């Protein structure tokens, strides 16, 4: 058995590596650099933690978030790993103690924020220490095209120049081809081995629907499918996060808001409650989530459409890190697209950056409107092929009904043209349906040949037509004219009659089929024993001031329920039980199992 295999089993309690973990770990142990793309929950942290324990010296981990550092250090200390962090939460005496431990060789892993690492005093400290490796976590933060850009990450290329003999490993769960190239260039990783573990998260069910009554749609989803579960609800604005959290709290749910505008103490308290209590829902902007290590998030819901597929993938990836069933649920509307495009148009970025962002937004809208397997489309965005439909998204489980929308599309495009490409959806619908509002007569639109030709479709059906024409780039939104629709070159063939188009038939909310609720708990598990084990875990976590999953993950408790270990040796064979946890917790959990199952 290799040293890394022994550490995997005795320290972390896992029987074997998942490909390509073993190859990545061997590369770094041998002193090579590595760039690792691995989905959330795929075991990225083991790829640098184990080499740091095998190689002489201390592994230095650059991490962007204080909460993530503290979380990982707590989990490692539970395993008997000598880990610590240097960040702004430490007073001078505590920081000095950590620095002394680094210099005298009594640390295995040290977590540091990128802004601290770039300081000359910190670099001089590292010069004097024996360093086994540098791990750059959340490496996509280096990308100026990305949604999580951190300027401090741009300084990390200094590691290659200052410490050329020390291996570096950069890791991320989200990066398209452009972002991967930027990571390589900005971190001087041209000579690094590239590892891609695949982007598929088969345990996550992807579901996207139209906004109709957003709050009631969300409440129905939570009550019907996730009562008592922990989850994250993402909103576009800070105000909406607070209002939604307050409303969910009024409905009897444990919901708290989180956004960058809250004071740091409130944000920290809400995050700590989410990590340590059962069944808490965080309603948040994208300020929340990066690096959150909570494995039992059973759902991620979006009340507004994310602006990129990368954002969507990363945010939904925070669900089901433990590999158990989880939901990625989203509702969206054309107004989301208009708002996002307005935000992009008024941003301070270059024209090239704005064009790239518009392209990414179009890809996200395309994912929403697609009528085929969503997982295939999502993986294809990251250049990964899935030969067969996944069978675990709404398009697969509830195939979309389509209709021949060619004639309706031509009417819609004609209305846009005849009104001078100066009006938004609501006015165009009034023209098509022959309504007699003041603005119709103000502009003499009752005289147009398109006036009243679309009475066979109601307002919602016409909104669906216009939304899908925007999504498919037959129309665009003119932000300078407050949402006016404009014709795109692509629409010529459709208007001439040279092209047909099929549109998805949007279902009213009341007629939407209900997907069968999935439980993360296997059918053969004794619920009473499961709850007793969770109570034991919760008490141990409270005694030590750590989140429950730091003691044991849900999947470890489930394995206890199935295998019913009755001896120390049997308990030690449970996945996730290493030697240190066997020693610390074995007797307590064996007693719970004995009390439930009776004496041998």
Here the CATH number for the domain that contains residue 500 is 1.10.10.10
| 170 membership: H or E segment, kind and range | strand 168-172
Which strands form 281-284's sheet, in the order they lie side by side? 204-210, 326-332, 299-302, 231-234, 281-284, 255-258
Question: Is 161 in the same domain as 237?
Answer: no
**What is the mean predicted confidence (pLDDT) over 95-115?**
95
Tell me the pLDDT band of 512, cut-offs 50, 70 and 90.
Answer: very low
CB atoms within 10 A of CB 134: 24
Q: How confident is the model at residue 513 (pLDDT cuts 50, 70, 90)?
A: very low
Query: Is 235 within 8 Å of 259 (Cβ atoms)?
Result: no
Of the chain, the percentage scoring pLDDT greater than 70 comes to 95
Q: Is 24 helix (H, G, I), strand (E, B) or coil?
A: helix
Both tokens of 524, joined, read 């053969």
**Residue 213: other Cβ atoms inside 10 A:** 11
Convert the pLDDT of each residue in 518-540 to its tens digit.
555 666 788 899 999 999 999 99
Count of structural domains, the chain = 4
Residues 408 and 384 reside in one and the same domain: no
**pLDDT tens digit sequence for 152-168:** 888 899 999 999 999 99
Is residue 249 located within the same domain as residue 143? no
Same-domain pairing of 388 and 439: no
Torsion of CA 547, 552, 554, 560, to 10 degrees: -150
Rank 112-116, 171-175, 255-259, 506-510 by mean pLDDT and report only the highest.
255-259
514 lies in some domain: no
User: By mean pLDDT, which of 290-294, 408-412, 511-515 is the weakest?
Assistant: 511-515
Residue 548, φ and ψ in degrees, nearest 5: -55, -40
CA 35 to chain centre: 20
Instruction: In whole angstroms, give the CA distance from residue 22 to residue 41.
Output: 16
What is the per-residue pLDDT across 391-402, written as a single tens digit (0 to 9) for each?
Answer: 999 999 988 888
| The predicted structure's pLDDT at residue 509 | 53
Q: What 3-state class would DSSP assign to 282?
A: strand
- The pTM score is 0.79
Range of the domain at 178: 3-196
516 domain-assigned: no
502 and 569 in a common domain: no
Check if the beta carbon of residue 298 is closer than 8 Å to that of residue 430.
Answer: no
**The tokens of 216 are what?**
């009631």
Q: Are residues 79 and 166 in the same domain?
A: yes
Q: Which of 397, 420, 435 is the last residue of a domain?
A: 397
β strands within 29-77, DSSP E: 34-37, 58-62
How many Å apart are CA 136 and CA 123, to the nearest integer? 15
- 214 lies in the same domain as 268: yes
Over the stretch 39-93, which tens digit does the pLDDT of each residue have? 877 889 999 999 999 999 999 999 887 777 888 899 999 999 999 999 888 999 9
Pick 285 or 509 by higher pLDDT. 285
Q: Pick from 454, 475, 506: which residue ends a domain?
A: 506
CB–CB of 448/387 below 8 Å? no
Average pLDDT, the chain: 89
Tell me how long the chain is: 600
Is there a domain that residue 60 lies in?
yes
Closest alpha carbon to 489 in 597, 586, 413: 413
**CATH assignment at residue 334:** 3.40.50.300
Query: Which pLDDT tens digit goes with each residue over 329-366?
Result: 999 987 888 888 777 777 777 777 777 787 788 889 88
State whether 365 and 246 are in the same domain: yes
Strand 34-37 to 193-196 pairing: parallel
My answer on whether 79 and 192 are in the same domain is yes
167 shares a domain with 209:
no
Asked if residue 371 is part of any domain, the answer here is yes
424 and 376 together in one domain: no
Which among 346, 369, 397 is the end of a domain?
397
Within 8 A by CB and 6+ apart from 147, the residues are 286, 307, 308, 310, 311
Coil/strand/helix, residue 431: helix
What is the crossing angle of helices 351-369 and 334-345, to 10°?
170
- C-alpha 547, offset from chain centre: 20
**Are 320 and 184 found together in one domain?**
no
Structure tokens at 11: 């320290």
What CATH number corresponds to the domain at position 592?
1.10.150.80
Question: Is residue 518 included in any domain, yes or no?
Answer: no
3-state secondary structure of 256: strand
């Amino acid at each position: 058995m290799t040293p890394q295999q022994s550490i995997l089993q005795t320290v972390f309690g896992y029987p074997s590596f998942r490909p390509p973990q073993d190859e990545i770990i061997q590369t770094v142990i041998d002193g090579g650099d590595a760039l690792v793309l691995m989905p959330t929950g795929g075991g990225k942290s083991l790829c640098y933690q184990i080499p740091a324990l095998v190689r002489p010296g201390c592994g230095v981990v650059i991490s962007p978030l204080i909460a993530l550092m503290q979380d990982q250090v707590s989990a490692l200390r539970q395993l008997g790993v000598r880990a610590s962090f240097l960040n702004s939460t430490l007073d001078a005496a505590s920081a000095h103690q950590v620095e002394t431990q680094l210099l005298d060789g009594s640390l295995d892993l040290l977590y540091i924020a990128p802004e601290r690492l770039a300081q000359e005093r910190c670099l001089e400290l590292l010069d004097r220490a024996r360093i086994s490796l540098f791990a750059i976590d959340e490496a996509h933060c280096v990308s100026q095209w990305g949604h999580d850009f951190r300027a401090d990450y741009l300084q990390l290329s200094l590691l290659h120049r200052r410490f050329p003999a020390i291996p570096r490993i950069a890791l991320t769960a989200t990066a398209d081809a452009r972002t991967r190239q930027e990571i390589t260039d900005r971190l001087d990783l041209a000579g690094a081995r590239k590892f891609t573990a695949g982007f598929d998260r088969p345990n996550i069910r992807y579901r996207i629907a139209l906004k109709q009554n957003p709050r009631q749609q969300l409440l129905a989803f939570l009550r019907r499918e996730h009562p008592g579960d922990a989850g994250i609800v993402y909103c576009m604005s800070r105000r909406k996060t607070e209002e939604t959290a307050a409303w969910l709290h009024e409905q009897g749910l444990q919901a708290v808001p989180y956004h960058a505008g809250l004071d740091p103490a409130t944000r920290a308290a809400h995050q700590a409650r989410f990590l340590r209590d059962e069944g808490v829902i965080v309603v948040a902007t994208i300020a929340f989530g990066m690096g959150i290590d909570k494995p039992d998030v059973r759902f991620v819901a979006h009340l507004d459409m994310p602006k990129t597929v990368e954002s969507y993938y990363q945010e939904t990836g925070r669900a089901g890190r433990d590999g158990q069933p989880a939901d990625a649920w989203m509702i969206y509307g054309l107004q989301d697209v208009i708002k996002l495009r307005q935000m992009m148009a008024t941003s301070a970025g270059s024209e090239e950056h704005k064009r790239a962002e518009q392209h990414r937004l179009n890809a996200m809208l395309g994912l929403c409107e697609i009528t085929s397997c969503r997982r295939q489309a999502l993986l294809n965005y990251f250049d990964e092929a899935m030969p067969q439909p996944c069978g675990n998204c709404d398009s697969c489980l509830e195939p979309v009904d389509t209709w021949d929308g060619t004639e309706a599309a031509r009417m819609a495009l004609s209305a846009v043209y005849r009104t001078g490409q100066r009006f938004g959806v609501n006015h165009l619908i009034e023209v098509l349906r022959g309504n007699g509002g003041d603005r119709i007569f103000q502009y003499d639109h009752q005289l147009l040949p398109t006036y009243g030709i679309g009475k066979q479709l109601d307002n919602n059906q016409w909104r669906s037509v216009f939304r899908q024409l925007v999504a498919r780039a037959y129309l665009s939104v003119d932000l300078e004219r407050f949402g006016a629709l404009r014709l795109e070159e692509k629409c010529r063939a459709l208007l001439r009659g040279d092209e047909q188009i099929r549109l998805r038939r949007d279902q009213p909310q009341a007629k939407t089929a209900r997907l069968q609720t999935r439980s993360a708990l296997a059918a053969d598990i004794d619920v009473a024993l499961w709850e007793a084990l969770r109570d034991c875990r919760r008490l141990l976590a409270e005694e030590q001031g750590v989140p429950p999953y730091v003691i044991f993950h849900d999947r470890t408790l489930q394995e206890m329920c199935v295998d019913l270990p009755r001896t120390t040796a049997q308990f030690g064979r449970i996945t996730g039980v290493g030697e240190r946890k066997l020693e610390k917790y074995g007797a307590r959990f064996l007693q719970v199992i004995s009390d439930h199952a009776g004496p041998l």
